[in-house]
Structure 1
């Protein structure tokens, strides 16, 4: 009817009289847009895309999970080191000083000059050796020829520009306590105490020294020993001293012997001036057990176990005091007498062993 529009409009210039539809016009515009066409086709292929995303997510999980496990392992190792008393602060002044200064080799000898010559020549060749001291307790002083020979061998065997100091520490009395006498002019904090018939390879020495730097208050050595409660009777407690085979069988130790061990120089002063004089007298009368006395001293000061370092060492002598008949019985007696004098058992058992990871094919 004339004058009525009915809400419809005709497409201008359509030519066919078709009605105008905004929805159709919008759809036509989208379909003619190349970007919309690409997105629309991608959406139409959503299942392959979803699989791709799932594969990428799975790959990310496979990468992230091992990294998380490694991070957790590092945190656990750091925490374990703290609980053990290890201190891995390489930037600390103490560690840096000890690293630069190296260590002093303290050789205990007794009437075995051929063995002493071998020991001095070997330890002078180790790069970390800052000085070599020979504890001499014989009635006659060392001969001039022996002194000259050893000084010459130290200079010739040293592999570093800094040549180690060498000297004899002479003692008037033949006491086994002499091996732990204080040394006034030491330049190092680290002492490597060793018998004249024990050879530790230089590479093994350097590893043990690095272990000691991380725990410089304790003893770090190669010869572990143990103690355990044997029996109780009449109100008294008795302990037993265990040698190498006891350590091997039980996997536990509470001492490392000073026949091949690192410790801080301060323990020389403590041994000489702070340890009960009754223990000094006992060691002198028995001519034995000074190594147990030192282990008890360090354990009493730290309340921590020593550290046993895995490494091959060589005994070049024919035999030692440990081969004598009744040696273990005497050690049992020493241990119980020392514990009685201390009034407690400061020794701390442990199962930990320091192993050089680069030398292990599987760990």
Structure 2
């Protein structure tokens, strides 16, 4: 090998490493709320969406490789970005993660890892100058959704009139006024919902700016409540969206979802794909949580109502389903099976 070729190879390797490290840099110096640094709404493309995955635990890195691969394989995905919020994770670990996700991706959409400027949960909603799409999918690092259901949810988001404003997602909860205590509570209803979780939620990219930069002192105080509680950023985003739309969110059904973070998982041996329903997954999911969790979430609703001066949350009913792909689960001989198998021998 000649000296010239060796120099070129070393330069290429160094450049590649530099690009990866640069993508992991701290972004604290960026002016997130400066409109001049953000693309205009008119320039954002509507035929694709950007996936923003909230990452924190190094124990879920293996799951991330699967989850990001599913998103990157979709022709409707412009980019997949893991927003890493754990300040204690070594940069070397994130460099390796970024490299592995990129080289192992089965799709064409680029995958990158960006270290968040802080561990605040509010950081997942910072407006980003590199987002080129009108919609973003906010999701967690432990939720695996089949590709057809991802596309179905995106199609529903696009179909919400000529200017889609409503949140669209898979996991629903509700607020309610407790008449005994005369205070807001966080709960679930079998027939209505008013809150979508950021486990999997489509929304307008513009809402990132409204959450992080608009609303003056009231929203600043609401964001400080999120930091104090270390919770409820999803509820606050629902407040933001409902305040803009005056209507509730849209729940969609999925053919299959694997929630790797669900407390009902048994060491990986009994992780099962299950159907999402308002009366099914939601009620079981809440019952698996400690009561303190629900109380804290109710306190967030109460505090957001107080500091913002209004209750914008509105109820929605039912859910949008893919009539061909979706099946319910029914009981047969003491086991849960797809309902269309119930009558088979």
TM norm. shorter chain > 0.5? yes
The alignment status of 1:303 with 2:249, answered yes or no, reads no
Q: Show the 5 A alignment for 1:129-144.
A: 129-140=77-88, 143-144=91-92
* In structure 1, distance between residues paired with 2:154 and 2:103: 22
Q: Contact (CA 8 Å) 1:115, 1:196: kept in 2 or not? A: yes
The alignment status of 1:207 with 2:155, answered yes or no, reads no
The alignment status of 1:168 with 2:113, answered yes or no, reads yes
Change (3 A) 1:106 1:218: same
How many residue pairs are counted as aligned between the two chains?
257
Q: Which has the higher helix share?
A: 1
Which residue is 1:241 aligned to? 186
Q: Contact (CA 8 Å) 2:94, 2:113: kept in 1 or not? A: no
Which residue is 1:182 aligned to? 127
Aligned partner (choices 160, 171, 194) of residue 254 of structure 1:
194
Change (3 A) 1:289 1:327: same
Q: Contact (CA 8 Å) 1:257, 1:292: kept in 2 or not? A: yes
Change (3 A) 1:142 1:267: farther
Task: Kindly provide the CA deviation profile for residues 223-255 of structure 1, in whole angstroms up to 9, marking residues without a partner as x.
Answer: 01111221166xxx422211xxx33x3x10011
Which residue is 2:303 aligned to? 337
* In structure 1, distance between residues paired with 2:263 and 2:139: 15
Cα offset for 1:325? 5.3
Which residue is 2:65 aligned to? 117
- What is the TM-score normalised by the length of structure 1? 0.65
Aligned Cα RMSD in Å?
2.7
Change (3 A) 1:154 1:127: farther
Change (3 A) 1:231 1:325: closer
Query: 348-357 vs 191-200, which deviates more?
Result: 348-357
Which residue is 1:44 aligned to? none
Identify unmatched segments of 5+ residues in structure 1.
1-92
Change (3 A) 1:318 1:166: same
Cα offset for 1:303? 0.8
Identify unmatched segments of 5+ residues in structure 2.
1-40, 265-284, 329-345
Q: Contact (CA 8 Å) 2:222, 2:308: kept in 1 or not? A: no
* In structure 2, distance between residues paired with 1:167 and 1:294: 24
Partner SS state of residue 298, structure 2: helix
The alignment status of 1:358 with 2:327, answered yes or no, reads no
* In structure 1, distance between residues paired with 2:201 and 2:195: 10
* In structure 2, distance between residues paired with 1:331 and 1:255: 12
Change (3 A) 1:309 1:339: same
Cα offset for 1:141? 5.4
* In structure 1, distance between residues paired with 2:262 and 2:176: 30
Cα offset for 1:357? 2.4
**Between Structure 1 and Structure 2, whose CA radius of gyration is higher?**
1
* In structure 1, distance between residues paired with 2:98 and 2:67: 10
Task: Kindly provide the CA deviation profile for residues 306-327 of structure 1, in whole angstroms up to 9, marking residues without a partner as x.
Answer: 1000113211136499735510
Q: Contact (CA 8 Å) 1:109, 1:195: kept in 2 or not? A: yes
Cα offset for 1:123? 2.0
The alignment status of 1:105 with 2:56, answered yes or no, reads no
Which residue is 1:314 aligned to? 258
Which residue is 1:59 aligned to? none
Cα offset for 1:348? 0.9
Higher relative contact order by CA 8 Å / sep ≥ 6: 1 or 2?
Answer: 2
Q: Contact (CA 8 Å) 2:166, 2:241: kept in 1 or not? A: yes
Cα offset for 1:149? 4.8
Partner SS state of residue 244, structure 2: helix
Aligned partner (choices 205, 226, 232) of residue 283 of structure 1:
226
* In structure 2, distance between residues paired with 1:218 and 1:155: 35
Partner SS state of residue 98, structure 1: strand
The alignment status of 1:223 with 2:171, answered yes or no, reads yes
